[in-house]
Amino acid sequence: MEVEIRVNGNTIIEDIRPDLLLIDFLRQHGCFSVKRGCETSNCGCCTVHLDGKPVLSCGILAVRCDRHEVVTLEGVREEAREFGGFIADEGGEQCGYCSPGLIMATLAMMREIPDPDDDEIKEYLANNLCRCSGYESQMRGIRKYIAWKKSQRKSNNTVRMPEQAGSAAKPTVRMPEQAGSAAKPMVRMPEQAGSTGAASKMTAVSAVSSAEGDGV
Ligand code: FES
Ligand code: FES
């Protein structure tokens, strides 16, 4: 059956078997971030976005995605790197196998609920299992990421250009370098992560790169 599926911005037109799972379709097209954990829709390792919503790609047929848009971690590298840095800094990434699924689910959550509380986080991510971290470190990383996103939004909102500011007040334009520590991303990029130990170093390895290319 011929399908046309948009994957990470590229349109793929292909004749596929009607029983081909989305996870297999994606991995056949080089999206190795999409991990196979349980294959019973229970672990969340295979989470991707389908038209912006998180879905378990082991539980959906590729033909169901005909003329739809699928995004994997390879399609959101920058955001994945940012968020993965917070998780690694809290020691929440150990073997890293669950990270791509956790990242995709968290990014979807942040779009739906920009400022979730702990209960909302737990409910949203209840289907993303991790056998290593015990979840507390992941929760700390998620909370810090949310706080950082909030401070970013705040600092973006305080930038008012003169022509938008009207007559009421002086424009309070704050350039990034003047905005103080709240506006500064606390994200460690993988190549900067060296000083705080093994967990940080794994950021690059598993959250993004493992995902990209190990083919596991
Ligand atoms: S492999 Fe899809 S939910 Fe576990
Ligand atoms: S399963 Fe190992 S870090 Fe989550």
Residue 188 has pLDDT above 90, yes or no: no
Rounded to an integer, the average pLDDT of 141-150 is 96
Say how many Å lie between the CA of residue 79 and the centre of ligand 1.
22
Number of the ligand closest to the Cα of 138? 2
- Write down the domain spans for the chain: 2-74, 76-156+180-213
2-74: which CATH topology? Ubiquitin-like (UB roll) (3.10.20)
Say how many Å lie between the CA of residue 81 and the centre of ligand 1.
22
Q: What is the pLDDT of residue 163?
A: 56
Q: What is the pLDDT of residue 154?
A: 86
Number of the ligand closest to the Cα of 134? 2
Q: Is 43 a pocket residue for ligand 2 (Cβ < 6 Å)?
A: no
The partner residues of 70 in beta bridges, in order of sequence, read 7, 50
Question: Helix (H, G, I), strand (E, B), or coil: what is residue 7?
Answer: strand
Backbone angles phi, psi at 13, to 5 degrees: -110, 125
Say how many Å lie between the CA of residue 9 and the centre of ligand 2.
29
Sign of the dihedral defined by the CA atoms of residues 130, 135, 138, 143, in that order: positive
Say how many Å lie between the CA of residue 39 and the centre of ligand 1.
4
CATH of 76-156+180-213 given 1.10.10.10, 1.10.150.120, 1.20.1740.10, 1.10.3720.10: 1.10.150.120
Tens digits of residue pLDDT in 73-86: 999 999 999 999 99
Residue matched to tokens 């996870």: 23
Q: What is the pLDDT of residue 195?
A: 35
Question: Which of 149-185 are b and which e, b meaning 16 or more Cβ less than 10 Å from the residue's Cβ?
Answer: bebbeebeeeeeeeeeeeeeeeeeeeeeeebeeebee
H or E stretch at 155: helix 136-157
DSSP type of residue 61: B
How far apart are the two ends of the chain, measured CA to CA in Å? 28
Contact 128, 35 (CB under 8 A): no
Tens digits of residue pLDDT in 153-183: 888 887 655 555 444 433 333 333 333 333 3
Q: Is 44 a pocket residue for ligand 1 (Cβ < 6 Å)?
A: yes
